[in-house]
Structure 1
Amino acid sequence: MHYVTAKTILSPKNGMNLYRGCSHGCIYCDSRSERYNMDHDFEDIEVKENALELLKKELIKRPKAMIGTGSMTDPYIPAERHLQYVRKSLEMIYRYGFGFTCITKSDLVLRDLDLLEKVNEKAKAVVQMTLTTANDDLCRIIEPNVCPTSRRVEVLKELDDAGIPTVVWLCPILPYINDDFENIKAILDFCVEVNVKGIFCFNMGLTLRDKNRQYFYEKLDEHFPGLKERYINEFGDSYGVGSPNNDELMKYFKGRTADAGIMSDTYEILAYLREFPQKSVQSKLI
């Protein structure tokens, strides 16, 4: 872990990354890609030491909106347990009347349930959780350093019980690893059980670019001997690596979500995440 002084913290669309790099070890992570110009080891977490100061300045002057985090780095990496940058950011987001959404795989998000409830009462808080495989043993291989799927489902249930809306990322789906009907059905069963509001699924497959492709192939050799050669033969250097079961699985996905009343259209979910509600009753400042 190392510290840097950042120049900015919020993007024009109110996204923020308090950290760069991740220690969850997911074998498919696109954030390893060369295009993101990370000039340090991916597991050597970069901490923006002045992030909270920058965030306060931005919240004071920006119009009320949803603040998002997690698109590049899971905000609830283990280092967050003691650094508490996310929690301190949430305190400010609540104080200044903004909304909040994050993408995570970690049950550490429940540490901040009290603040998520306060933000949700005053504006809106949405937790987005990645689910890729229903089998915990497989999950521990492809996402080794974070809580398994069964625990994430428990987290989604606790959030729903607390009135916090949730969205699931059903991706990536790795050809010949977790792209079978039983896996997709089981995950969708979980989503229905815990009352998720929407599910992102762009297609059954994954993306591979320089650096994340090499890391992914190393892990295929380690855990799935012979599969790397199959990927190379079938997909070459393609950015998009689609499952041969895509059409069948996407048809099932669309039908199941429609029957359950779960949003599955990408633009509809994005619009929901960006929508900042006007609550009639405002909570007092902390």
Structure 2
Amino acid sequence: MHKEIDAKTLLSASKNPSRWFGVNYTFNTYRGCEHHCIYCDSRSMCYRIDNFDELIVKRNSVEILKKELKNKRKKGCLGTGAMSDPYTKSEKDYMITRGCLEAIAEYNYPVHITTKSSLILRDIDLLEEINKIYASVAITITTTDDNLAKVIEPGAPSSSERLKALGVLSELGICTSITMMPILPFIEDTEENILDIVNKASYYGVKHIVPWLGMSLRDRQRDYYYKRLDKSFTGLRMKYEKSFGDRYSCSVRNAKKLYYSLSEACSKYGISLKMPSYHQKVSAVQLSLLNDI
């Protein structure tokens, strides 16, 4: 289901840029998502999206973004994808995210994109142009098992496709990360899964992994998730109810041990567990210039 609307504004100032890839201003070209991931926190009541499976298209996003960028007094890193995927399936036809990237390139802003889709490769020409300043892409990988991914992220491209996309982006010098979140308790919380994600990250040239060894569960999202567990993972719901009750934050089993294994593997391959950001790049350049004086 699609619904088109006209947005009044697009950019929102981030109160704490360091919390999410150094993003100063966030924007969403869509509300809702067609990837239908069974664990998505954006279904929670606090986000006020009545039906997250209905895609709301902000059809005038490009026009609004151009106006807002033109009038911005203070530049900063723009970010998209934290709430709704900018490369949801319908972006292939609407091309609104591409239009926004054209505006970002025109006004010389840095950008960070979080997505779960290999469709981002369509816009590689614009990302290369923006990367003359700074372009960062984080692609979510929670499992390397394509069959499992099809169950928990049914509308998204396969994990294999996403990893290959990261490889292409990395090869072109774009800052790449894996957002390894959420890691679902009793489903994905094995050392084998975690280490295979790290191995694949290394193979495809990814330099950053941003993990969360657990997931969130609250109100509508919990209800939705449990219905999907009943459908695809018989008996697992009872384990969740017994282990987590009404808790919002649900850590995986053996979280410390898994994180140690993750850290050791990342250290071996030279992969950072810290979020990259445009501000780190600017600081590094400034420090380099000072050292050359």
Same fold per superposition (TM over 0.5): yes
Q: Mean alpha-carbon deviation: is it higher for 155-164 or for 255-264?
A: 255-264
The letter of the residue matching 2:146 is D
Task: Tell me how far apart the structure 2 counterparts of residues 58 and 46 of structure 1 sit (CA, whole Å).
Answer: 21
The letter of the residue matching 1:243 is V
Does structure 1 conserve the Cα–Cα contact (< 8 Å) formed by 2:110 and 2:278?
A: no
Any runs of at least 4 consecutive aligned residues in structure 1 with deviations exceeding 4 A, and if so which?
Answer: 273-279
Does structure 2 conserve the Cα–Cα contact (< 8 Å) formed by 1:65 and 1:275?
A: no
> 1:251 maps to which residue?
260
Counterpart selection for 1:17 from 21, 28, 45: 28
Q: Mean alpha-carbon deviation: is it higher for 167-176 or for 41-50?
A: 41-50
> 2:236 maps to which residue?
227
Task: Tell me how far apart the structure 1 counterparts of residues 97 and 6 of structure 2 sit (CA, whole Å).
Answer: 17
Q: Name the SS for the 1:176 alignment partner.
A: coil
Equivalent pairs: percent with the same residue?
A: 40
Does structure 1 conserve the Cα–Cα contact (< 8 Å) formed by 2:167 and 2:206?
A: no
Change (3 A) 1:67 1:128: same
Task: Tell me how far apart the structure 1 counterparts of residues 245 and 75 of structure 2 sit (CA, whole Å).
Answer: 46
Change (3 A) 1:248 1:219: same
Q: CA deviation at 1:277?
A: 4.4
> 1:132 maps to which residue?
142
Change (3 A) 1:274 1:84: farther
Task: Tell me how far apart the structure 2 counterparts of residues 253 and 261 of structure 1 sit (CA, whole Å).
Answer: 12
Counterpart selection for 1:201 from 197, 211, 219: 211
Q: CA deviation at 1:22?
A: 0.4
The letter of the residue matching 1:9 is L
Structure 1: segments with no counterpart, 5+ residues: 280-286
Task: Tell me how far apart the structure 2 counterparts of residues 275 and 118 of structure 1 sit (CA, whole Å).
Answer: 20
1:239 to 2:259 alignment: no
Counterpart selection for 1:152 from 131, 155, 162: 162
Q: CA deviation at 1:273?
A: 4.6
Task: Tell me how far apart the structure 1 counterparts of residues 42 and 268 of structure 2 sit (CA, whole Å).
Answer: 34
Counterpart selection for 1:172 from 182, 186, 198: 182
Task: Tell me how far apart the structure 2 counterparts of residues 145 and 97 of structure 1 sit (CA, whole Å).
Answer: 33
> 1:94 maps to which residue?
105
Change (3 A) 1:276 1:192: closer
Task: Tell me how far apart the structure 1 counterparts of residues 7 and 204 of structure 2 sit (CA, whole Å).
Answer: 38
Does structure 1 conserve the Cα–Cα contact (< 8 Å) formed by 2:134 and 2:278?
A: no
Task: Tell me how far apart the structure 2 counterparts of residues 163 and 242 of structure 1 sit (CA, whole Å).
Answer: 34
Does structure 1 conserve the Cα–Cα contact (< 8 Å) formed by 2:59 and 2:96?
A: no
Q: CA deviation at 1:5?
A: 2.3
Counterpart selection for 1:74 from 81, 85, 91: 85
Q: CA deviation at 1:10?
A: 0.5
Cα deviations across residues 152-194 of structure 1 (Å, max 9, x unaligned)?
Answer: 1111111112221201111111111110010001000011112
| Residues paired across the two proteins, number | 272
TM-score (norm 2): 0.89
The letter of the residue matching 2:103 is M
Structure 2: segments with no counterpart, 5+ residues: 14-23, 286-293
Cα deviations across residues 17-49 of structure 1 (Å, max 9, x unaligned)?
Answer: 11000010101000111110113x211111112
The letter of the residue matching 1:207 is S
Q: Name the SS for the 1:166 alignment partner.
A: strand
The letter of the residue matching 1:251 is Y
Q: CA deviation at 1:217?
A: 0.3
Task: Tell me how far apart the structure 2 counterparts of residues 258 and 273 of structure 1 sit (CA, whole Å).
Answer: 23
The letter of the residue matching 1:3 is E
